[in-house]
């Protein structure tokens, strides 16, 4: 099979067909325009497919051709090269998907009468059409490009990924931590815990919620280097990547209640090209309310929601109290079309949150849960400040915030004052505040 790929505006749309037929291809002719941006995109395809061929030891000869799309003589020269490369025109397939219109039209006109075929990829239905001079047939794609191969074909290097097996191994503990301990007062994590570490666990928790849905491939914690020209490259990081029918989607996990959504929306829209032009992007936050844009009347939609919706970026709050809604929402946004989704939702175990305050010290039990059950190797608490607060008549020097709050003799009121003063600064306050959120822990 000789495959001619005409690189157009949606340059990565040529890749699904290349991957679908890579075991049959003997020659791959890549035609692209001499416009600056087209050269950048074409080089990504040329170098990416070359790396793919080397990786899999494929016997494919690549023939890149740069032309002026608006020159009839240039197109005739391309046709001449194809003639010289082709012994049997019935084995020639011209991929005109999103390609250069002039090139695709004149090339098809030249070769279809000789028995060649034009081929187009419908990236929305994940189908391809084969056209001859007198007929057209439609076929379902038989393959979905694995995520690592998707990046390789686009000349994007994967620098690092997270170990997904961690999520499977500690699924129960992650559920307990986020659904039971956190359900009512998740915000205290900002005050006591390293947000990066908790955010890291939050990604695994979100993955566990959707891992039984019908996607084709998944990766977590993916750091990439998107190669451009020469030594110029872009670096991006993705929390959760999901492949379905040759579309690569992402979930960004932000375990935060306060978020600069404008900056985040612009950032995520800018990484779409390295990801997939048709990617759907979901931002999962720690907002109190789980918002579905479709359920909000237009007059109440903020400019950020409008911008996100237009860009296929879906902003969502915490799913901990809306797990079924979240799972079904993700299945819908990413078009997974999971058949047994109702049964999948029933699999999830949720926990009744802890509300009654308690007065005994539980610091060690909480820390042990995080360190032993979830293998988080860190100490979240300010030991010295804790000792000073629990023995608040000490003569030792206290922090300014603590000293100011100590003007009230009530330790319970002290904690409330500390929370108000320090929450915006994400500093540590008394571990005593944590005790009021935990009761009857079963950590065995």
- Which segments of 295-433 are extended strands (E)? 313-316
User: Does the residue 155 lie in any domain?
Assistant: no
Q: Which residue has the higher pLDDT, 341 or 395?
A: 341
Q: Do 165 and 234 share a domain, yes or no?
A: yes
> Taking 60 as the threshold, does the pLDDT of residue 162 lie above it?
yes
Most confident among 13-17, 77-81, 187-191, 193-197 (mean pLDDT): 77-81
Q: Do 238 and 335 share a domain, yes or no?
A: yes
Dihedral angle sign, alpha carbons of residues 351, 355, 361, 363: positive
Q: Do 135 and 176 share a domain, yes or no?
A: no
Domain count, the chain: 3
Q: Do 359 and 435 touch, CB atoms closer than 8 A?
A: yes
Task: State which of 113, 143, 173 marks the end of a domain.
Answer: 143
Q: How far apart are CA 392 and CA 414, in angstroms?
A: 10
44: left (phi over 0), alpha (psi -120 to 50) or beta: alpha
* First CA to last CA distance, the chain: 62
> Taking 70 as the threshold, does the pLDDT of residue 2 lie above it?
yes
**17 is in which domain, residue-wise?**
2-143
Q: Do 105 and 69 share a domain, yes or no?
A: yes
Q: Do 301 and 307 touch, CB atoms closer than 8 A?
A: no
Contacts of 125 (CB under 8 A, 6+ apart): none
Q: What is the pLDDT of residue 71?
A: 93
Q: What is the pLDDT of residue 377?
A: 43
Element spanning 224, H or E: strand 217-227
User: Does the residue 76 lie in any domain?
Assistant: yes
> Taking 60 as the threshold, does the pLDDT of residue 433 lie above it?
no
pLDDT tens-digit series, residues 211-229: 999 999 999 999 999 887 7
20: domain CATH number is 3.40.50.11700
Q: Do 205 and 122 share a domain, yes or no?
A: no
Q: Do 164 and 207 touch, CB atoms closer than 8 A?
A: yes
Confidence class of residue 308 from pLDDT cuts 50, 70 and 90? Answer: confident
Render 149-173 in DSSP notation, one character per residue.
HHHHHTTEEEEE---THHHHHTHHH
Q: Do 111 and 246 share a domain, yes or no?
A: no
pTM: 0.75
């Amino acid at each position: 099979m000789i495959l001619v790929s005409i690189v157009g505006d949606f340059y990565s749309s040529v890749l699904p067909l290349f991957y679908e037929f890579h075991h049959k291809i003997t020659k791959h002719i890549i035609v692209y325009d001499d416009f600056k941006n087209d050269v950048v995109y074409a080089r990504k395809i040329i170098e990416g497919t070359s790396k793919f061929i080397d990786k899999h030891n494929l016997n494919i000869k690549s023939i890149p051709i740069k032309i002026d799309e608006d020159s009839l003589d240039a197109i005739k020269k391309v046709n001449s090269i194809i003639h010289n490369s082709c012994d049997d025109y019935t084995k020639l397939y011209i991929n005109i998907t999103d390609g250069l219109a002039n090139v695709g039209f004149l090339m098809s006109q030249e070769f279809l009468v000789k028995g060649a075929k034009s081929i187009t990829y419908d990236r929305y239905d994940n189908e391809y059409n084969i056209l001859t001079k007198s007929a057209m047939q439609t076929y379902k794609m038989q393959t979905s490009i694995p995520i690592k191969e998707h990046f390789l074909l686009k000349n994007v290097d994967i620098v690092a990924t997270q170990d997904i097996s961690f999520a499977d191994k500690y699924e129960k503990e992650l559920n307990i931590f986020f659904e039971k301990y956190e359900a009512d007062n998740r915000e205290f994590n900002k005050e006591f815990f390293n947000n990066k570490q908790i955010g890291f666990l939050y990604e695994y928790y979100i993955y566990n919620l959707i891992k039984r849905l019908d996607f084709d491939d998944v990766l977590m914690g993916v750091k990439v280097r998107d190669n451009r020209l020469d030594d110029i490259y872009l670096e991006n990081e993705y929390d959760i990547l999901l492949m379905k029918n040759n579309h690569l989607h992402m979930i960004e996990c932000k375990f935060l209640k306060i978020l600069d959504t404008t900056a985040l929306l612009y950032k995520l829209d800018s990484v779409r090209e390295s990801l997939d032009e048709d990617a759907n992007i979901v931002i999962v936050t720690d907002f109190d309310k789980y918002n579905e844009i479709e359920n909000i009347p237009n007059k109440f939609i903020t400019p950020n929601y409008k911008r996100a919706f237009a860009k296929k970026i879906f902003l969502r709050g915490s799913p901990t109290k809306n797990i079924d809604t979240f799972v079904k929402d993700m299945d819908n946004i990413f078009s997974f079309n999971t058949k047994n989704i109702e049964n999948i939702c029933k699999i999830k175990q949720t926990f009744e949150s802890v509300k009654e305050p308690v007065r005994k010290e539980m610091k060690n039990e909480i820390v042990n849960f995080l360190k032993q059950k979830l293998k988080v190797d860190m100490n979240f608490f300010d030991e010295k400040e804790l000792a000073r607060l629990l023995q608040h008549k000490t003569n030792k020097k206290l922090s300014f915030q603590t000293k100011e709050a100590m003007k009230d003799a009530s330790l319970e009121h002290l904690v409330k004052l500390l929370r108000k003063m320090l929450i915006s600064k994400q500093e540590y306050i008394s571990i005593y505040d944590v005790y009021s959120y935990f009761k009857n822990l079963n950590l065995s």
